[in-house]
Structures are given as structure tokens and as C-alpha cells.
């Protein structure tokens, strides 16, 4: 039995693939305030922004307000970091049979879970797709559906069926690689732009290169292994971003299925005045830099700007040129 916690875009997409595959029974944890709304929804629905992909329409799983793990083999945490502690506070003992599967961005969530439950089996699941929640239990996926799982548990690897590309990875190198890619999220959030804008606008590309250079220099100095989700070395990717070629966008579009109009969830968080995951992304880089005495000024300035934006309605968005000037890139 799988218990999915979090009915946002990631939770909805994973739950739809789980129930459509029918390889593992699943339950969906819902908060008290969401019960009435979700009870009126009859099915899970996931649309694909690309042409030629029929939507997934799957039976709604059993809804539960309990986080008891007595009959649970896999606990899938699909919340954002600001909600993680509240979920962990409600958990009792984690049975030996139960694996805690974290889908959260960054590596801070894994660290927090292991601090709270040092004897539990914790599995990193790196979400490589971009999803948007359209309505309750109704999501759109705007990239190729893919996850990376840091486990050799065949039952878990097969649970999502053939519609989801599942790749086994070792250790946390994939999580660090995804964190590097996610450093783009704040750039888009500060300028209210899309992934396509990020990969085509000269100022945004220059900012992204500066952020990545700073982070990769730090990881190399700290001896941390990372695996970028691309088949080319960072030096080649950096050269493409630093030039005028449109290849970075076409590469993301053709290889990863990234659709025009796709944007990071941090864009929506800032737009709605919600707390962001900046501390678990760029903040992870800044904290690691302090630990290893490696300066990370660009990431630090980005954190300061996002923190000023949080809670403002409407946010004081910056143009790409203005952001580049503010960051000194």
C-alpha cells in the first residue's frame, strides 16, 4: 500500500500514474480543509501539454485524513518544504516495512527526514517533470514524465507503470544535479518569466550561467558528486548558454519535452504571495559556501530579492536587464 501526501501538481500526477498502472494500491492523504472539495471530484486527470498525448483519467484513490502507517509500505511525500515539518509532526513510529519516499526539491528535505527518523529507510525520488495544478486532482504535465529513484527496490521502480519513465540512480548525485537546474526557479520568479524566456533571453541566460558557475565551483570544492540531467558536460552546456545559439531551448524542448509557457512553481508561489523553497535551493548553496568558505554572492543576492518579494501583492517584478544589473552579472 502506498500513501501519497500532497494533492498538488506532483502528488496528483504521481497518484494518477499509480492508480492507472494498478500495480500498487494507493491512498491519498488530504487535509481537513480540503476534504469537502476533493470528495466532489470523481477521478484523477492528468493532461499533457504536448500534442499526441491522450490525458490520463484514473479512478480517485481512497481519501484519508490519517497518517497512520500500520498498513503502509511506501509513504510518498509530495509537499513543499515549508509544509514538511507539519507532516512529520503528525507521523508516529515508522514501521520497518515502510519506506519514506521524498519527492521534495533539494537535499535539505532528505536531511530533515533522516534527522527526525534516523532508523527509517529514506528514498530520494527526483522529479524531472514540470507540472501545473489546474483544478483539484486535475494537473497538466509540460515535460516528459520522468522520475529518478535512489533505490534498487524493484517494487517501487515498477509501481508507476509504463507511462512514467523511472530510472534507478545511486546516492544523491541526481538530487544535487536537479538542485543545480532548480537554481533557475528564482530567476524566473523574480522576472515573472518562463523556462523558454530563461533559455532564450540574453540577460536571463547570463544570470543563469553566473548562478551555475558559482554553485558548481562550490560543489567541486566541497567534493560533492552531482549529475546534471543532460548528456553533455557542464562546460559544453555553459558554452551554449553563454553564446547566442537557440540550442539550449531546442535541447530542452526536444529532449525533455519542455513546452512553451512552462514555468517553475516558484513563479506561481511568488505571484500568489506564498512562501517559496528558496532556502532549500539557492539557500543550500549559500549555506554550503559558508561552511566551506567559498563565496556565493550571486545566489545570496537572489535569496535577498526573493525574500523581499514574498508576501507582496503584486510582487515588484524586475526586467531581465534590471535583475542582471542588481546582481552585478
C-alpha torsion sign, points 263, 264, 270, 273: positive
> Would the pLDDT of 198 be above 80?
yes
> Where a domain ends, among 131, 147, 170?
170
Whether 102 and 77 have beta carbons less than 8 Å apart is answered as: yes
> What pLDDT is recorded for position 51?
58
> Would the pLDDT of 207 be above 90?
yes
Tell me: do 109 and 252 sit in the same domain. Answer: no
Tell me: do 203 and 148 sit in the same domain. Answer: no
> What pLDDT is recorded for position 144?
86
The torsion region of residue 163 among left (phi > 0), alpha (psi -120 to 50) and beta comes to alpha
14 is in which domain, residue-wise?
Answer: 2-170
> Where a domain ends, among 170, 205, 237?
170
Across 116-136, average pLDDT: 94
Tell me: do 198 and 132 sit in the same domain. Answer: no
Residues 6+ apart with CB under 8 A from 184: 195, 198, 208, 211, 264
> What pLDDT is recorded for position 303?
98
Tell me: do 229 and 306 sit in the same domain. Answer: yes
In CATH, what number is assigned to the domain containing residue 210? 1.10.1040.10
Tell me: do 155 and 38 sit in the same domain. Answer: yes
Tell me: do 19 and 57 sit in the same domain. Answer: yes
And the C-alpha cell for 37?
472539495
Q: How confident is the model at residue 171 (pLDDT cuts 50, 70, 90)?
A: confident
> What pLDDT is recorded for position 172?
86
Tell me: do 159 and 186 sit in the same domain. Answer: no
Tell me: do 165 and 211 sit in the same domain. Answer: no
Question: How confident is the model over 292-303, as pLDDT tens digits?
Answer: 999 999 999 999
Distance CA 187, CA 166 (A): 29
Tell me: do 134 and 149 sit in the same domain. Answer: yes
> Would the pLDDT of 52 be above 90?
no
Across 116-130, average pLDDT: 94
> What pLDDT is recorded for position 232?
82
Tell me: do 166 and 212 sit in the same domain. Answer: no
> What pLDDT is recorded for position 251?
80
How much is the mean pLDDT over the chain?
A: 93
Tell me: do 216 and 105 sit in the same domain. Answer: no
> What pLDDT is recorded for position 50?
67
**How many independent structural domains does the chain possess?**
2
Distance CA 57, CA 210 (A): 42
Across 112-123, average pLDDT: 96
Q: Which of 64, 174, 165, 157 is nearest to 110 (CA)?
A: 174
> Would the pLDDT of 88 be above 90?
yes
> Would the pLDDT of 142 be above 90?
no
Amino acid at each position: 500500500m502506498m500513501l501519497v501526501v500532497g494533492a498538488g501538481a506532483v502528488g496528483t500526477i504521481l497518484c494518477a500514474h499509480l492508480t492507472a498502472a494498478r500495480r500498487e494500491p494507493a491512498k491519498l492523504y488530504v487535509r481537513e480543509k480540503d476534504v469537502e472539495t476533493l470528495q466532489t471530484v470523481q477521478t484523477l486527470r492528468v493532461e499533457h501539454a504536448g500534442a499526441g498525448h491522450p490525458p490520463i483519467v484514473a479512478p480517485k484513490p481512497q481519501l484519508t485524513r490519517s497518517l497512520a502507517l500500520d498498513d503502509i509500505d511506501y509513504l510518498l511525500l509530495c509537499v513543499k518544504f515549508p509544509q514538511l515539518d507539519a507532516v512529520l509532526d503528525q507521523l508516529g513510529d515508522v514501521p520497518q516495512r515502510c519506506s519514506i519516499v521524498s519527492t521534495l526539491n533539494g537535499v535539505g528535505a532528505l536531511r530533515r527526514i533522516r534527522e527526525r527518523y534516523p532508523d527509517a529507510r529514506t528514498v530520494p525520488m527526483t522529479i524531472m517533470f514540470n507540472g501545473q495544478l489546474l483544478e483539484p486532482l486535475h494537473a497538466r504535465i509540460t515535460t516528459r514524465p520522468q522520475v529518478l529513484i535512489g533505490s534498487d527496490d524493484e517494487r517501487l521502480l515498477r509501481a508507476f507503470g509504463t507511462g512514467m519513465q523511472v530510472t534507478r540512480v545511486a546516492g544523491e548525485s541526481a538530487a544535487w544535479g536537479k538542485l543545480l537546474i532548480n537554481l533557475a526557479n528564482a530567476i524566473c520568479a523574480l522576472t515573472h518569466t518562463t523556462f523558454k524566456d530563461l533559455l532564450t533571453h540574453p540577460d536571463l541566460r547570463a544570470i543563469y550561467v553566473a548562478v551555475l558557475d558559482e554553485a558548481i565551483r562550490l560543489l567541486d570544492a566541497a567534493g560533492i558528486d552531482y549529475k546534471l540531467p543532460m548528456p553533455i558536460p557542464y562546460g559544453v552546456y555553459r558554452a551554449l548558454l553563454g553564446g547566442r545559439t537557440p540550442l539550449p531551448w531546442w535541447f530542452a524542448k526536444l529532449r525533455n519535452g519542455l513546452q512553451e509557457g512552462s514555468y517553475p512553481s516558484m513563479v506561481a508561489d511568488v505571484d500568489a504571495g506564498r512562501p517559496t523553497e528558496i532556502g532549500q535551493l539557492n539557500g543550500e548553496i549559500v549555506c554550503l559556501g559558508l561552511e566551506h568558505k567559498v563565496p556565493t554572492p550571486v545566489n545570496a543576492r537572489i535569496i535577498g530579492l526573493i525574500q523581499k518579494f514574498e508576501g507582496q501583492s503584486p510582487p515588484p517584478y524586475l526586467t531581465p536587464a534590471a535583475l542582471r544589473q542588481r546582481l552585478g552579472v
